[in-house]
Amino acid sequence: MHCVDTQEDEVQPRKILVVDDSKLIHKMFEVLLRQFSLIHAHDGIEALQCLGNHADIDLILLDINMPRMSGLEFLNQVKADQAFQEIPVVIISTEGKEEDTIRGLEAGAAAYIKKPFGNQELLEVIQRL
């Protein structure tokens, strides 16, 4: 019989990289995702540095409109790098047009959530991934 150790998931919190230039969003994730271990970056360049420093990131929550390096540029770099391309990326953006969603998903995002988002919606996506 094949056994799955679900306990391990509960003991070891998943490590999530939050990439957003909004301090409000970082604070919100601190409160909402307190059961996870969070790493914070405020633009794409900072996020790439965080990826280099933390080899065990399980998930990336990514904004699109950011200074220095946008979310899509960052996503393209992540998906082009063999070391990181398997990490699921959830885009969380105010860009809500259908073409924005398609562009994000085609760039390799696992899910696309529009701001403002419902807490439950985000938690369900994270659980699914």
Partner 1 sequence: MSESEAGGLLKELDTTLDRAKDLLTTLSNRQDDAGLDEESAARIRDLEVRLDARDRDREELTTRLVEAEHQLGRLMNLYVATFQLHATLDPTEVQATIAEIAVDLLGAERFALLLREEGSQDCEIALARGLENDNSGLYEGDRYSGGDPLVDAALDDGVLRMGPDEFSEVIAAVPLRVQDAIVGVLVVLKLFDHKSILRAEDRDLLDLLAAHAASALFAARVYSNTDRKLRTLESLVQLVRST
- Is 116 among the residues that bind partner 1 (CB under 8 A)? yes
| Ranges of H-type helices in the chain | 6-11, 23-32, 44-53, 71-80, 98-106, 119-128
Least distance to partner 1, CB of residue 84, Å: 26
Least distance to partner 1, CB of residue 105, Å: 16
- Looking at the Cβ atoms of 51 and 101, the one nearer to partner 1 is 101
- Is 24 among the residues that bind partner 1 (CB under 8 A)? yes
SS3 102: helix
- Is 37 among the residues that bind partner 1 (CB under 8 A)? no
Q: Which residues of 41-66 are buried (b: 16+ CB within 10 A; e: fewer)?
A: bbbbbbbbebbeeeeebbbbbbbbeb
Among 29, 32, 55, which residue's Cα sits nearest to residue 42? 29
**In whole angstroms, how large is the CA radius of gyration of the chain?**
14
Least distance to partner 1, CB of residue 120, Å: 6
Among 7, 35, 53, 82, binds partner 1 (CB under 8 A): 35
Q: By CB under 8 A, what part of segment 55-114 binds partner 1?
A: 94, 96-97, 114
Determine the Cα angle at 35 with ends 74 and 24, to 5°. 55
- Is 12 among the residues that bind partner 1 (CB under 8 A)? no
Query: Site residues (CB under 8 A) for partner 1?
Result: 22-25, 27-28, 31-32, 35, 94, 96-97, 114-116, 118-120, 123, 127
